[in-house]
Amino acid sequence: MNHSITFFDQQFSQGATPQALALNPFETLTLPHLRGEVLDFGSGMGNLAFAAARQGCRVTALDASQAAVAHMQQRATAEALPVRAELADLRQYLIGADYDAIVSIGLLMFFDCVTARKVLAELQQHVRPGGIAAVNVLIEGTTYLDMFEPTEHCLFGAAELLQCFDGWDIVLNELSTFEAPGNTVKRFATVIARKPA
């Protein structure tokens, strides 16, 4: 387990507080675009996965945090919702099916840049024609680095994520900055794009 996975696993182990179960701003932007079969790649506690399931999607949620996956499996049973949660290290993961929507919010920056770009291409390949990809990453200018493995992370260029969706229909393209502990900032790029049918 690397530092990033441990960082989030400890956070998720503290339990399902109302704050931990709230949709973050990127999940809120993404939810209205989700239909059909959805893959949440790096789902965390599965807040988006469960919100999507409640609006009729069938969701596969993957994450490397045991605490998050255990929480999602219990919640799927308790709420009888179609969320299949699995533990997976997504650095080397090959996606075995195609989906109407693939979401990866706040994951790829935890991989080295070569791996991050390779995994993004793998995600894009498994979106069905006419389907949606929703991707959010940290970008250059981010100074909050506590959750990173020092030798294994990637801050994307400000325009890089959008460029990776060349040829797709861009539904949303947003750069945002949030204050973080210790007078630092997190800068994000978010792209929601539709694969040409």
Instruction: Count other Cβ atoms within 10 Å, centred on residue 109.
Output: 22
Q: How many residues does the chain have?
A: 197
Instruction: Give the range of 14-22, 57-65, 122-130, 178-186 binding ligand SAM by CB under 6 A.
Output: 57-65
The verdict on 4 binding ligand SAM (CB under 6 A) reads yes
Position with the least CB separation from ligand SAM: 44
Q: What is the DSSP string of 90-149?
A: TTSPPP-S-EEEEEEES-GGGS-HHHHHHHHHHHHHTEEEEEEEEEEEEBTT----TTSB
The verdict on 72 binding ligand SAM (CB under 6 A) reads no
What's the min distance (Å) between Cβ of 136 and ligand SAM? 7
Which residue in the set 29, 59, 60, 65 belongs to the binding site for ligand SAM (CB under 6 A)? 65
* 66 Cβ contact list (under 8 Å, min separation 6): 9, 87
Q: 95 to 154, contacts with ligand SAM by CB under 6 A?
A: 105-107, 110
Which residue in the set 29, 31, 38, 64 belongs to the binding site for ligand SAM (CB under 6 A)? 64
The verdict on 50 binding ligand SAM (CB under 6 A) reads no
Which residue in the set 34, 51, 59, 90 belongs to the binding site for ligand SAM (CB under 6 A)? 90
Instruction: Give the range of 39-47, 112-120, 153-161, 166-174 binding ligand SAM by CB under 6 A.
Output: 39-47
Is the separation of the CB atoms in 43 and 105 below 8 Å? no
Task: Please give the Cα distance from 103 to 46 (Å, whole number).
Answer: 11
Looking at beta carbons only, is 27 or 160 nearer to ligand SAM?
Answer: 27
Tell which residue, 164, 166, 98, 102, has the closest CA to residue 133.
102
The verdict on 60 binding ligand SAM (CB under 6 A) reads no
Beta bridge partners of residue 152, listed in sequence order: 149
What's the min distance (Å) between Cβ of 82 and ligand SAM? 19
Task: Please give the Cα distance from 84 to 176 (Å, whole number).
Answer: 31
Chain positions contacting ligand SAM, by CB under 6 A: 4-5, 8, 24, 27, 42-44, 63-65, 68, 89-91, 105-107, 110
